[in-house]
Structures are given as C-alpha cells and as structure tokens.
Amino acid sequence: MDRLASMETFIRVVETGSFSGAARQLRVGQPAVSKTVAQLENYLGVKLLTRSTRGLTPTEAGLGYFERAKRAIEEADEAELAARGAGTGLKGRLRVCAAVTFARIHLIPLLPQFLAQHPDLDLEVVLDDRQIDLVQEGIDLALRMGKLLDSALTVRRIARCKRLVLGTPEYFERAGTPATPADLSKHQAVVYLQGEGSIWSFRRDSSEAAVKVQSRLKVTAAEGVRAAVLAHAGLTISSEWMFTPELRSGAVRAVLSEWSLPPLDLWAVFPTGRAATAKARTFVDFFERSFNP
C-alpha cells in the first residue's frame, strides 16, 4: 500500500464527503477509492469513516488522522519543492477563501496570471462573507478584512484602506448632501450587518462623533449593499475596496471627507496550528505584490 497515496485519497473523501466526489477529483473509479480507504482502515486497525444520511463523515479517530495526514501531505510537497528548487513552480491543489465582493473585484481578475505562473497547480476559491472555520473546511489560506474573531489565528497584514460614507449622485440630489455626521440621522442608510451596524463613529482632529443612522434596509452580504446603494436606496459606510470601480467612474461619491472613519485592514489568515504551506505563502506574496503595486 502506498501510504502517501492512501492518505491523499482519504483526505479527498473527507473533504468531498463521498467516495464518488473523491474519485472525480482523483480521476479514478469509485471502487478504487473505496478499496483504498478499506485498506487504510485495515492497516491502521481503526474505523475512519461512518455513513450517515448526509454522506460519509470521519469518526473521532478519522478526524484526527485527517488533520495529521493533511499536514504530512503538505510537508511532503514542501520537501519535494525544496529538492526540485523553487523555480520549478507549484503543484497540487490550493484552497483559498475570500469575501464575495472583494474577490470579484480584486482577487479573481489576478488569478489567470498566477495560474499561468504555476501550470501544475489547481486553485479552488471559496467565496463567503463569513469567517468560516478554515480547518473544518479544508482551507489553506483566507483573505479577511476587519477585526479577526479568533486571536489564535496565524495572520499577516497585506493592506489597509480608508472607509468612506458613499452614495450615488442621484441619491444625494434627492436627499441632500450631509455636511456633518449629525446630518446622517436625516438620511436613509443601507446597513451591512457584518460591518458597523447602525452606529457610525467619526473622528476629526481631536473631535469624535457617533451617529445612529436610520435604516429600513439591512443586508447580510456586501454584494447586496453594493446593489442597494447603486439602486439609489441610500448611503452607506464602506471601504474603498468595495466600490473601487464606481469611485473611479463617479457612479458613487464620498461625502464627509474631512471626517475619518477607522481604517480597514486586509489579512492573510492561515489555519490555526498549522505552518503555512509553500503554496499558500507563494500565493500571498503574489497577491500582495499585485494588489499593492
């Protein structure tokens, strides 16, 4: 039995939740995957998987083996890369997670260049505005913005940008342009529920102001906030990153520019308890160079 190949097969079964899913990824028949897992269980003398109505799930022993096996495969890849030399490029699979809107505007357009540099690498991009469990979801690297909920995460800050109060010219023509933060209480706000909520805090020199905005429209995803603002439903507080194309074209404009809001940080986040793989580090280096030219 090829132990590394068996480990990789088992990892794919756990990540896909089925023998058939793993077979498709590995480009082999489903019986071959089932046989490999059975041989692995026999070799280890322990049951690794259980069947349920939701598919295959790892046992407690299987989950522990999954984490260690994945680490072993990653370390084997690292050793191979080191032996061959960094110039030979990356291979295998890299799973990256990012927020939907940020990825659509800033990440996805860069991926063809990265893939061209590494023709033996497959890239899976998981788009989710939530801060999902990286280990449970099998993510190698996440790009996250704002405050990180888990202080134990291994992180690297990539960039920082301003946050602005934004609206369309049509909205401001209809509702007026706020001259002070207090004027915002007279406006309709589109509130991003994973952001600041309904209380917006501003600073100018030594002065601070906190305003509770009115909002008949609250949205859980940044893509919905964008759509609502561009439909002239109200103004919002947003990073420059979320409306980069529209700020350039004039489709939205910033107000209260003499007042500042807390900046927004962009982080590269790696799974807790695991060293960043060469693939993940290379991807972060590429994205940081491309994103901050």
What tens-digit pLDDT sequence spans the chain (293 residues)? 788 899 999 998 988 888 998 898 888 999 999 999 999 999 999 999 998 766 788 999 998 999 889 888 877 776 776 666 554 567 888 999 999 999 999 999 999 999 999 998 999 999 998 888 887 777 889 999 988 766 666 788 999 999 999 999 999 999 999 999 999 999 999 999 887 778 899 999 888 999 999 899 999 999 999 999 999 999 999 999 999 999 999 999 999 999 999 899 999 998 875 667 788 989 999 999 999 86
Domain CATH for 71: 1.10.10.10
Which of 57, 84, 111 terminates a domain? The answer is 84
Same-domain status, 112 and 24: no
Domain-terminating residue out of 84, 109, 124? 84
Q: Evaluate if pTM is beyond 0.85.
A: no
- Say yes or no: 16 and 56 in one domain: yes
Q: Mark 156-188 as b/e (b = at least 16 C-beta within 10 Å).
A: eebbeeebbbbbbeebbeeeeebeebeebeebb
Question: Same structural domain for residues 111 and 125?
Answer: yes
179 and 145 part of one domain: no
| Whether 147 and 184 share a structural domain | no
Question: Are 201 and 131 in the same domain?
Answer: no
The predicted structure's pLDDT at residue 274: 60
Determine the pLDDT at residue 161.
93
Same domain for 217 and 76?
no
CA distance 140 to 117: 19
Q: What's residue 71's pLDDT?
A: 80
What local confidence, expressed as pLDDT, does residue 73 receive? 83
Q: Are both 129 and 148 inside the same structural domain? A: yes
Q: What is the CATH number of the domain that holds 189?
A: 3.40.190.10
Same domain, 100 and 110: yes
Say yes or no: 135 and 229 in one domain: no
| Residue 171 sits in the same domain as residue 258 | yes
pLDDT of residue 206: 86
Quote the domain boundaries for residue 62.
3-84
What is the count of structural domains for the chain?
Answer: 3
Q: What is the pLDDT of residues 44-77, one digit of tens each?
A: 999 999 987 667 889 999 989 998 898 888 777 7
Instruction: Look at residues 55, 84, 113 and tell me which one is the last residue of a structural domain.
Output: 84
Regarding whether 219 and 203 lie in a shared domain, the answer is yes
